[in-house]
Amino acid sequence: MKRAVFLDRDGTINEDVGHITDPDRFELIPGATDAIRRLKDAGYFLVLATNQAGVARGLMTEPQLLRVLGAFEDLLEREGVRLDGIRYCPHHPEEGIGSYKQDCDCRKPGPGQLLSAAEEHDIDLASSFMIGDHYSDVEAGIAAGCRSVMLLTGHGQQEIEKLDAAQKERTDYVARDLAEAADWIVVQG
């Protein structure tokens, strides 16, 4: 079975500039691609796990989202790194349009994205990690049986300030950025 690192996108790998419908708006967080490379070199299977409620809200279609995700992959590849898989949730429980308005388990904090990737790619969730800048990323990791890292990039600083003591205790590690998170994960083995 594979060890994996599940990565949120906005605020984790790229700057969070709101719903990205134009691939030219991607701005990578400094050090993020080097961190991804270190995780890959350490033998981790890398999966993007991202909530993309812009589809549910009617800001883009699912085919447009797929083009944006493809452009994101191309951007990473130009930086010399490659993801092994991509999962996304286009739903929103309150603000969705049509079939996209639903409460699903693929929307983080639900574990659906991680569980489906684990099933498809033979991932050992107990030896895997979830990294993101929202507590919902941490919760998704916990629900899937992974260890979780919360970043202070993106919305992370504001999120960490809202957490109670029990939530902070359930978070395995708080990292300044993806580079620090990668360093910590590599040491964990």
Q: Is the separation of the CB atoms in 5 and 149 below 8 Å?
A: no
pLDDT of residue 54: 95
pLDDT of residue 99: 95
Instruction: Pick the catalytic residue from 10, 137, 172, 177.
Output: 10
Top-confidence residue, 186 or 22: 186
pLDDT of residue 39: 98
- Give residue 96's pLDDT band: very low, low, confident or very high (50, 70, 90): confident
Give the model confidence (pLDDT) of 98-107 as tens digits: 999 999 999 9
User: What topology is assigned to 4-121+156-188 in CATH?
Assistant: Rossmann fold (3.40.50)
pLDDT of residue 164: 94
pLDDT of residue 23: 86
Q: What percent of the chain shows pLDDT beyond 70?
A: 100
pLDDT of residue 30: 96
pLDDT of residue 98: 93
Annotated catalytic residue 10: yes
Instruction: Pick the catalytic residue from 8, 137, 172, 177.
Output: 8
Q: Per-domain residue ranges for the chain?
A: 4-121+156-188
**Each residue of 169-182: b (16+ CB within 10 Å) or e?**
eebbbbbebbbbbb
DSSP string, 44-87: -EEEEEEE-TTTTTTSS-HHHHHHHHHHHHHHHHHTT---SEEE
Q: Is the separation of the CB atoms in 69 and 47 below 8 Å?
A: no
Give the model confidence (pLDDT) of 37-95 as tens digits: 999 999 999 999 999 999 999 999 999 999 999 999 999 999 999 999 999 999 999 99
Give the model confidence (pLDDT) of 143-157 as tens digits: 999 999 999 999 999
Annotated catalytic residue 164: no
Give the model confidence (pLDDT) of 149-185 as tens digits: 999 999 999 999 999 999 999 999 999 999 999 999 9
Give the integer Cα–Cα distance in Å for 49 and 161: 24
Name the token pair of 75: 């951007």
Top-confidence residue, 130 or 23: 130
What is the pLDDT averaged over residues 103-113? 97
